[in-house]
Structure 1
């Protein structure tokens, strides 16, 4: 008899998108593989926010990542002015959002700690976003046996370029955004946090695809 896994194996990406959160919202534990390799052209260091006239890609520059380099060893390049650009962009995008004043100070505080490694920044931001979303899921860091049948492998969400519509986790559930007449799906979790506050978890649950299994 098949039972649903309650532990998810994830990559920790930069301010993850809504698809990621809809996939993990009902999990009992998240596992980060400490031996994971960094993957270029992934969203480990990228996310999207909504500005007045466009969707903006925020990207963290890193020092030249090598092939077969451990994710935990990838360093952030603070010589580039990305931090000021990202914080200014987030203020510009969400400064008038209903819950901006509640959440932004804690978010800014994590950025200003300036951790040296991308993994550490992403992990701290994920932990904060889970807390602000009122999603109580513990995170464990360890070396992982990917053949473990009790772990749901969700690393495709950060490594593969497939559109969310082609995967089985996220079906957009519209909520009021600040800009534009049309709803923009699958932005960073901060879009939902700043716009909806305490309703985040409910909207994530409503955004989960309903899978019908043919038995």
Structure 2
């Protein structure tokens, strides 16, 4: 039984999913500390003319807090900005109408913490990708003795090519001639639908 401990990212990138696709159990924790300049509150999508980063604003400039105490800032209209960006980027994608109804309701809730938002997003993404691994919440990942501990490793500050997790298998994206790797999971879901699982399996770095 393969157990993988990993940070609870927001609408994670494809590298995240290639790292856990063969896991029997995926371990996340509400008590892991928030990290600045991380994927914990941001994801990347492809618009017609650029790659756009969607960020979830949080309260406090540099909170040294566990994820379940990092409060989301609703003074900013980030939900509408995200939904407008997603619809602009993927509204004409082949599987948008099939998968968007699963994502949209999560945005319509006012989750109190970043942990609550990220956990619900990951749960639905695992379901849509038909992953076999069980998602387990642990209060203390250091006591779990996972087979693979990826906490702190998947970071936007370093390219995926520096790690041994993800080797992109290109698929048809909505905009641009050149394939843009390692975008948010919604890119592969909206663009490829039921093929997403197979594409992620083939993108696991050998």
Q: Report the TM-score when normalising by structure 2.
A: 0.95
Give the secondary structure class of the aligned counterpart of 1:44.
helix
Partner residue of 1:151? Answer: 147
Deviates more, 1:141-150 or 1:56-65: 141-150
Give the secondary structure class of the aligned counterpart of 1:201.
helix
Instruction: Choose from 128, 134, 149 the match for 2:130.
Output: 134
**Counterpart Cα distance in 2 of 1:26 and 1:77:** 35
Q: How does 1:13-32 map to 2 (within 5 A)?
A: 13-32=9-28
Give the secondary structure class of the aligned counterpart of 1:86.
helix
Deviations 1:188-209, CA, capped at 9 Å, x for gaps: 0000000000011100011011
The number of equivalent residue pairs is 206
**Counterpart Cα distance in 2 of 1:150 and 1:71:** 20
Q: Does 1:53 align with 2:54?
A: no
Larger radius of gyration: 1
Partner residue of 2:66? Answer: 70
**Counterpart Cα distance in 1 of 2:61 and 2:19:** 28
Give the secondary structure class of the aligned counterpart of 2:99.
helix
- Please report how far the alpha carbon of residue 53 of structure 1 lies from its aligned counterpart in structure 2 after TM superposition: 0.3
Deviations 1:170-198, CA, capped at 9 Å, x for gaps: 00100000000000000000000000000
**Counterpart Cα distance in 2 of 1:120 and 1:98:** 29
Against the structure 1 CA distance between its residues 46 and 150, is the aligned structure 2 distance closer, same or farther, given a 3 Å change threshold? closer
Partner residue of 2:86? Answer: 90
Against the structure 1 CA distance between its residues 88 and 143, is the aligned structure 2 distance closer, same or farther, given a 3 Å change threshold? same
**Counterpart Cα distance in 1 of 2:52 and 2:177:** 17
Deviations 1:24-83, CA, capped at 9 Å, x for gaps: 000001111232111111110000000000000001100005553111100111110111
Q: How does 1:1-215 map to 2 (within 5 A)?
A: 6-64=2-60, 66-146=62-142, 149-159=145-155, 161-210=157-206
Deviates more, 1:140-149 or 1:119-128: 140-149
Q: Report the TM-score when normalising by structure 1.
A: 0.91
8 Å contact kept, 2:39–2:156: no
- Please report how far the alpha carbon of residue 146 of structure 1 lies from its aligned counterpart in structure 2 after TM superposition: 2.7
**Counterpart Cα distance in 1 of 2:156 and 2:45:** 20
**Counterpart Cα distance in 1 of 2:15 and 2:51:** 16
Gaps of 5+ in 2: none
Give the secondary structure class of the aligned counterpart of 1:156.
coil
Gaps of 5+ in 1: 211-215
8 Å contact kept, 1:98–1:194: yes
8 Å contact kept, 1:13–1:158: no
